[in-house]
Amino acid sequence: MIEFKCHKGIGSKVEGEALVADDNFSARYDLDRIKGVFSRPQHKLAGESYRDKILVLNTAKGGVATAWMLHEMKSRNIVPKAILFNAANTILAQGAALAELTMCDRFEDGDVTSLLKTGDQVVVDPDAGLVTVLNRD
C-alpha cells in the first residue's frame, strides 16, 4: 500500500481504478459525454472510457462550459468517480463541487501522472488530502 499526500480536496471519499495520462482535461472538448469516452483524437486517452474511473491528469483547461459539462455528465450518471490533477483551476473546482464530484490536486510527492499508473486501485480521501494505492507494494 502506497500513500500520496495532496492538497485537501472536495467531494466524498471514493475508491476506483485509475486512468492516467500526462495530458490536460476539458470536459467540453476532450469527451464524448453521451458514450462516456475520451473522443478528441489528439488526447492521450482517446477511445478510453472515463465512466466510474479515477481520472489522473495534468491540469484542467477551458472555462465555465467545462464546469457545466461536469454537472450534465453527473445528471446522466456518466462521470468519473474522481479527478486528480497536478493543478486545478477555480472553474473546474466549482464544476466538481456543483457535480458533487471528488477532486484533489497539488501532490506533495511530485507529478501525480507519474506517481499513479493506469489500473491502480486507489482510494481518494479529499478531507484527509490523501490518495492510497491499494494494489502496489
- pLDDT (0 to 100) of residue 60: 87
The whole-angstrom separation of Cα 115 and Cα 32 is 27
Strand partners, 129: none
- pLDDT (0 to 100) of residue 107: 97
100 and 74 Cβ atoms separated by less than 8 Å: yes
Q: Count CB-CB contacts under 10 A for residue 109.
A: 13
Domains and CATH numbers, the chain: 2-133 (3.50.30.10)
Half-sphere exposure of 127 (CA within 13 A, CB side): 3
- pLDDT (0 to 100) of residue 63: 76
- pLDDT (0 to 100) of residue 91: 86
- pLDDT (0 to 100) of residue 111: 98
- pLDDT (0 to 100) of residue 20: 98
Nearest by Cα to 131 from 74, 118, 88, 109:
109
For the chain, 137 residues long, give each residue's pLDDT as a single digit of tens: 999 999 999 999 999 999 999 999 988 899 999 999 999 999 999 999 999 999 999 998 877 888 888 889 999 999 999 999 999 988 888 889 988 999 999 999 999 999 999 999 999 999 999 999 999 87
What values do phi and psi take at 82, rounded to 5?
Answer: -160, 160
- pLDDT (0 to 100) of residue 122: 98
